[in-house]
Structure 1
Amino acid sequence: MTSTATTTTTSTSTSTRIILAEDHVLMRDGLKMLLSTQPGFEVVAETGDGKAVEALVRQLLPQLLLLDLGLPGLHGVDIASAIKAEFAESVKVLVLTGDLQANSVRQALAAGADGYVHKSEDSAELLQAVHAVLAGRQYVSGNIAAAFLPKVARADGTGDVLVATPREREIMSLVARGLSNREIAELLAISVLTVRTHRQNLMEKFSLRNAAEITAYAVQRGYYTPA
């Protein structure tokens, strides 16, 4: 492990700037090598110190932060929350985690990041996630969604898991694709208020708190397949 931060200054205006925040050097080197195979991607900084991440983001303004939740110094959930609060959609945050405990997964999803990938996934899945979040879509890998589902699935008196209506499945799928309420309304030819109502109702019904949790639920239930 290391807590040092390394920056480069060769970024061009057309490249996608990426910061790697991962405290295991071997994994960080592997991620950097993988990303270097993608045209237009450039790792402009890397660090293993949680306390250094926010300053690097402010200094370099990357399009993507690849963030390990288990960084020393400052927890990844706090980092993701702070970055999204300050930079919103201008900096995409893709979370990496090795923890599949349901409570930990829910905590990660609550951070408001744009994507979540478990470290057991292969390189193809990671690249799929990177391209998805850069395109404005939410991404939750299948095993994270599977770990999340038992925590949020509620049962009625007979023990049966609550079932989503066709409209709820449709709304969840479109949210998972990264569409806004207005875009969903235009696509379905309904009002924005109706979309908001459907969204609020399904979140209450399935105990979901944000778009990432809706995406995780949609992936696990088969309403949406990340592309």
Structure 2
Amino acid sequence: NREIENGYILVRNNRVEAVGPTADCPDSADRTIDLKGHVVIPGLINTHHHMFQSLTRALPAAQNGELFDWLSALFPVWQNITPAMQRAASRTAMAELMLSGCTTAADHAYLHVNGITLDDSFQAAAEMGIRFHGARGAMSLGQSKGGLPPDELVEQDESAILRDMLRVVEAHHDHRPDAMTRVALAPCSPFTVTTDLMREAATMARSLKVGLHTHTAENWKDLAFSQERYG
């Protein structure tokens, strides 16, 4: 937590190599940026986002709603989101984050309708230049099977979900230090996926050595759902 007044930061090959008082700064560099009057801090890290929701955060019917009521108001709207809208929403969210000092963001992307894939999010990240952890989310438990989301919004074939999880890991996950893109597997929640998908996604994440991400125990309704359905 040391504060350096009138300091310098030396960056080489995209890594911070040294920091210290300006008097100790090397006298040669390919590029110098003068940040007098500014404060420089490490990049902030956002560990959980839903970037597609940037499109619907001002919907009056969902304002100040309890979680399940809020989701139920938004599910019918989200059914109409397209890949182009997903990319635009991601770029918007990424720009807002970067302008606020965030340099790494994880997006739990569980909406896969109308041809949307996690590739759309990674395309937006490449365009914006943010370090991006894409969490391949999924909803497979529709209302007809006791879940919260409408059947039209879920992916019915869990085998296909798992195949696509493997595909996006192979396409986008970079295990190397300082990687700009990584993938996590992210079955959405106890009220939107089956226990089978939860288990299979966890098994795959371990075998591929990638992250595992979900929602759980978000509020009393979430807890009540799990207690009633799973005991």
Q: Please report the TM-score for the alignment, with normalisation by the length of structure 2.
A: 0.33
Considering fraction of residues, name the structure with more helix: 1
The structure that has the greater radius of gyration is 2
Q: Please report the TM-score for the alignment, with normalisation by the length of structure 1.
A: 0.33
